[in-house]
Structure 1
Amino acid sequence: MASNNTSALSTPVFNGENYQVWAVKMKAYLRGLGLWQWVETERQIEPLGNNPTLNQIGAHEEEEAKTPRALSYIHAAVSEPIFTRIMACETPKEAWDKLKEMYLGSDRTRQMQILNLKRQFEVLRMKDNEFIKEYVDKLMEVVNKIRLLGEELTNQRVVEKVLVSLPERFESKISSLENSKDLTKISLAELVHAFQAQEQRRSMRQEESNEEAFLALQKRKASQGRDKKQSGEKKR
């Protein structure tokens, strides 16, 4: 039985954009209501036996109500123009599959999309002027698109991709991590934090170096000023 908290949540509404995101939200919503299995497959309800009890009759009626209930939730989760395109569907699975075909395309189309995204994933490299978080955010945008299309891409694969696509300035840190941690088990967040710490240390050293250079320049200018003053006094 669905919890009251789940029932109180507002239904995610699909207006024709970002189908993959809506589908993930809607699937979770229907699961919370205990209805996703009635969308995922065509459910056949077993007929009641002879002389059923009141409890059996009630349970049977509840099971029978789940198919139209799931369909009504899908109807409520799409805008009116989209509803008119699925209103002839008689089961929630039929409506769900039609939406999937309309906005995600055929299996062949999805495979082409996945292939193109995988190519983007493989060729991505961190630029010398990028910060690690900027690069990982860009990489994860591609990763999430792949996952939304139903393709598995493990966190370990993403970690490996990050490690092999960083600029040379991270090589010493990668070597340090290889010696101190099991990189087959490290999380992406842990990896990013380690590289961010290195970036912060490098930034602090650069600031200190710039400050020292500035002070040295000021000292040199002051010394040159004194030399000029002394030279002028001698000429007089």
Structure 2
Amino acid sequence: METETSFSQIAPPVFDGQNYHLWAVKMETYLEALDLWEAVEEDYEIPPLPNNPTIAQIKTHKEKKTRKAKAKSTLFAAISTNVFTKVLTLRSAKEVWDYLKEEYEGNDRIRGMQVLNLIREFELQRMKESETIKEYQDRLYEIANKVRLLGTKFPDSRIVEKFL
């Protein structure tokens, strides 16, 4: 009897329309662990089998086709019903991924505004009397990591300065 749970039995992180950046990082890692990220990232074409294909050609063709289907299925399983209705007509995992990225990540202007709001929130943080040092530190790192997820550099030295 096997005591370890296989990775494929672990449910993917579900995206409900909130916190896209966090979900995208988790989902990319999940797809990489299942060896499906390539099908999402590249959206390669599967050439038809030649006449009289070899067993190796048949096997490779089937693996590529299955990998694309699994990637799309995994993405569908990882989004809520509200989000699913927006992507159900898309043909490939790459199209689904690109749509979600465009729809929920926002353009440069929106990301810039989000960064400014997060930096303002960071600057306004104060340690509460009932709060431990660890809780305050965690709160500061949470904001800093959100800024980093949006593609803006946020040095640890700035967190240390705020902390002290």
Same structural fold, with TM-score higher than 0.5 when normalized by the shorter chain: yes
Pick closer, same or farther for the CA change 1:165–1:84 going to 2, 3 Å: closer
Pick closer, same or farther for the CA change 1:143–1:165 going to 2, 3 Å: closer
Shift of 1:53: 2.3
Pick closer, same or farther for the CA change 1:114–1:9 going to 2, 3 Å: same
| Corresponding residue number in structure 2 for 1:174 | none
Counterpart contact for 1:126–1:166, Cα < 8 Å: no
Which amino acid in 2 is paired with 1:39? V
Instruction: From 150, 153, 158, give the equivalent of 1:161.
Output: 158
| Corresponding residue number in structure 2 for 1:86 | 87
Unaligned runs of 5+ in 2: none
Shift of 1:104: 2.3
Which amino acid in 1 is paired with 2:56? N
Q: Distance in 1 between matches of 2:81 and 2:147?
A: 29
Q: Distance in 1 between matches of 2:117 and 2:158?
A: 17
More helix by share: 1
Pick closer, same or farther for the CA change 1:101–1:126 going to 2, 3 Å: same
Q: Distance in 1 between matches of 2:90 and 2:151?
A: 24
Pick closer, same or farther for the CA change 1:125–1:11 going to 2, 3 Å: closer
| Corresponding residue number in structure 2 for 1:176 | none
| Corresponding residue number in structure 1 for 2:27 | 26
Larger Rg belongs to: 1
Which amino acid in 2 is paired with 1:82? V
Q: 2:112 matched to 1:116?
A: no
Q: Distance in 2 between matches of 1:166 and 1:21?
A: 24
Q: List per-residue Cα deviations over 1:125-179 (Å, max 9, x = no partner).
A: 75595653233122112112123334454xxx21x12443355xxxxxxxxxxxx
| Corresponding residue number in structure 2 for 1:5 | 6
Pick closer, same or farther for the CA change 1:144–1:164 going to 2, 3 Å: closer
| Corresponding residue number in structure 2 for 1:101 | 102
| Corresponding residue number in structure 2 for 1:203 | none
Q: Distance in 1 between matches of 2:139 and 2:163?
A: 13
Pick closer, same or farther for the CA change 1:75–1:134 going to 2, 3 Å: closer
Moved more, 137-146 or 49-58: 49-58
Q: CA RMSD in A?
A: 2.8
Counterpart contact for 1:11–1:77, Cα < 8 Å: yes
Describe how 1:38-187 pairs up with structure 2 within 5 A. 38-45=39-46, 52-121=53-122, 123=123, 131-153=132-154, 157-158=155-156, 160-167=157-164
Describe how 1:215-230 pairs up with structure 2 within 5 A. none
Q: Distance in 2 between matches of 1:83 and 1:128?
A: 41
Pick closer, same or farther for the CA change 1:107–1:39 going to 2, 3 Å: farther
Shift of 1:108: 2.5
Counterpart contact for 1:38–1:92, Cα < 8 Å: yes
TM-score (norm 2): 0.78
Counterpart contact for 1:6–1:29, Cα < 8 Å: no
Counterpart contact for 2:141–2:159, Cα < 8 Å: no
Aligned residues: 159
Shift of 1:30: 0.8
Moved more, 48-57 or 77-86: 48-57
